Structure 1
Amino acid sequence: MTREMITTTDSAALELFTTGAEFRSNGPGVVVVIGSMVTAADYSKFSHKLSAALERPIHTLNRRGHGASSAQAADYTLERDIQDLQVILNHTGATDIFGHSFGGGLALHAARTVPVDRLAVYDPAVSVNHSVVASWIPEYEKATATGDLDKAAAIAVKGLDAGGAVSRMPLYMLSLASKITANTPLAKQIREQLPNGVREIKALIAADMPAEPFLELPLETLIMVGEKSPAYFGVACGQIHDVLSGSSYSVLDGYGHDGVNRAPDKLITELAEFFAS
């Protein structure tokens, strides 16, 4: 794996990891757009397996506010990330994108205007006809303002509903669990990323639109959802698939929102076949 720091049009720095650099002669790779409250490191297993199966480089971007990339602006909008993605595509020569969770939603919006040949998304966090709501954000912001980070983290985990059975625990139990695990690497990462994640969710909701504008997406678009993922992912994806006649729709049986990070063979095989087509 190689690591680069890429300079953006406004002189910010983006951290980019490339897996499978030895396959560069086989053609441009695939750019992976990560989700909220994670870093490129959380996709290392996925990137290695997909690169080996596809025999092409996989470029995993730490968006602003993630990893060693420049900080995310307080007035963050999706457009900033879309412009950064264009920089990465220009740098790598890639025209294929894979996006997960918020990264999937970002990729769907970006691919309407950025030149992309093949687009695959898994559980994209995109709001179509108000399919995504975040009524928990005021409560989260109140807890943050009072310094109760344990409660804030618990509110976010429960509100996002992406943690399976953990997300369905009572709030007081999640708060206690947050306090007990506060010094673990995962808990520290979540706390560090929470402000970025909330800004991203607000931007996602602000970008809500009907499904019809997604007709501008590439003809080769693969939409995937996890069988055990929260239902709101499938609601938006179904609406986009209905209007995008050339898209393919797939359900990953037996897996939830973290299916990408777990990188099961069935997911890798389907993506490798799609990007090789």
Structure 2
Amino acid sequence: MERNLSFNLHVLTARLDRAADRTLQAEHNVSYSRFLALTLVRELGTPTQRALADCLGVTEPSVSRMTAALAAEGLLDAQPDPAGGRRTALPADGTPISYRTMGDGPHLILLGGALRTSDDYLPLASVLATSFRVHLVERRGRGASGPQGPHYTLRKEVEDLLAVQSETGARLAFGHSYGGLVILETARSYPVFDRTAVYEPGVPAAPVPTGWMGPYRERLTAGDSYGAFVHFIRGAGGAPPILAKLPYWYLRYALRIGFRGPSWQRMRPLLAANLAEHEQVAAQQGKLAGFGAVTASVLLLCGSRSQLASKTQFGALREILPTAVQETLNGLNHFGPEGKTAAVVAERARAFLL
């Protein structure tokens, strides 16, 4: 019955789309796909082609052709962004921190997690940009931002966030995983935010596994990226139990065969940064009580499919934060703010932050 309902909804949606297309073609000489693109441009403000492509669920070249045609017909004013869609903030140590801005409304900073770049959060940013002026940060060690540097600490990330906040004047923030830790650590010492939403922030309320870090570092030094990653997923505590029980050699072989696509290509250059960031998470152990100094209102989100131990830690954090609300989003795991489920997280965050 559930399958039939899903199929019927799909058929109904397709028929509605075709009916809308016929009406728009007859009355306004514009296709439904182009009408949808124009509507999104109006809602997002001045989006980049990449942001528009993510919202439409099509490729960037496809959006490029569409916007060119709309501009030729006088329906769209397409201009090159002199900053390439990106801006730069300079923290105390002078490391350039790149961020891209989209949408219109209250200013909101979006900060991602370990082994992720800002590109991984474009679907989330695009939905939020319908209600906010979103500043999507490329944390240090990634993309157009500068390197982590030899003296990297969590304090550097706090300084980076403060620099972006100073440039934008944002009083709202959203953070995922390690990005959530950075936001809460910043809010603990600096009252620059009024409201923050964090999804499964990397704040340790229990002992942090560190035994994997030595072998991970050795494999990285040897140039064995897959070997290092296996030590991480088996030892860091976030992987499903079945993976932790599989032999090292088997997992390494399986990853080399099956994990070679765009996700791995984005992740691979971040493996060294991943170690440095998890070392900082471990360094926060025993400091949970300090988050009682956070004055901002906090929405603490987690996924129902995340590990029970993790959800217990989030509950402990909620008890420490003075003005926090904790909610569990059904069917989501630790990576809820990414990909197809990003819209679910965005809608809940929007309701709290507005």
Q: TM-score when scaled to structure 2?
A: 0.70
Residues 228 and 148 of structure 1: is their aligned pair in 2 closer, same or farther, counting only changes over 3 Å? same
Residue 13 (1) aligns with residue 96 (2): yes
1:197 to 265, 271, 274: 274
Asked if 1 retains the 8 angstrom alpha-carbon contact of 2:108 and 2:134, the reply is yes
Q: Which has the higher helix share?
A: 2
Counterpart of 1:68, as a letter, is A
Residue number in structure 1 paired with 2:306: 229
User: What is the CA-CA distance between 1:131 and the residue it aligns to?
Assistant: 3.8
Counterpart of 2:346, as a letter, is I
Residues 211 and 149 of structure 1: is their aligned pair in 2 closer, same or farther, counting only changes over 3 Å? closer
Asked if 2 retains the 8 angstrom alpha-carbon contact of 1:18 and 1:57, the reply is yes
Asked if 2 retains the 8 angstrom alpha-carbon contact of 1:211 and 1:240, the reply is yes
- Give identity over the alignment, percent: 25
Distance 1:222 1:44 in 2: 21
Residue 175 (1) aligns with residue 258 (2): no
Give the gaps of 5 or more residues in structure 1: none
User: What is the CA-CA distance between 1:96 and the residue it aligns to?
Assistant: 0.9
Could you say what secondary structure the match of 1:271 adopts? Answer: helix
Number of aligned residue pairs: give it: 268
Residues 72 and 198 of structure 1: is their aligned pair in 2 closer, same or farther, counting only changes over 3 Å? same
Residues 71 and 264 of structure 1: is their aligned pair in 2 closer, same or farther, counting only changes over 3 Å? closer
1:36 to 91, 114, 117: 114
Q: TM-score when scaled to structure 1?
A: 0.89
Residue 101 (1) aligns with residue 177 (2): yes
Residues 177 and 195 of structure 1: is their aligned pair in 2 closer, same or farther, counting only changes over 3 Å? same
Residue number in structure 2 paired with 1:87: 163
User: What is the CA-CA distance between 1:45 and the residue it aligns to?
Assistant: 0.3
Counterpart of 1:228, as a letter, is R
Per-residue CA distance 1:133-170 (angstroms, 9 max, x = gap): 23211221232233332211222233345465885572
Larger Rg: 2
Per-residue CA distance 1:94-125 (angstroms, 9 max, x = gap): 01111101111121111101221111110111
Give the gaps of 5 or more residues in structure 2: 1-47, 49-84
Counterpart of 1:271, as a letter, is A
The Cα RMSD (Å) is 2.1
Residue 184 (1) aligns with residue 267 (2): no
1:120 to 180, 194, 197: 197
Asked if 1 retains the 8 angstrom alpha-carbon contact of 2:91 and 2:162, the reply is no
1:1-277 pair list within 5 angstroms: 1=48, 2-20=85-103, 23=104, 26-27=105-106, 29-52=107-130, 55-114=131-190, 115-128=192-205, 130-162=206-238, 167-168=243-244, 170=246, 171-181=248-258, 183-262=260-339, 263-276=341-354
Higher RCO (CA-CA < 8 Å; seq separation 6+): 1
Distance 1:166 1:61 in 2: 34
Could you say what secondary structure the match of 2:89 adopts? Answer: strand
Could you say what secondary structure the match of 2:167 adopts? Answer: helix
Per-residue CA distance 1:27-66 (angstroms, 9 max, x = gap): 3x110111011100000001101222xx211111111101
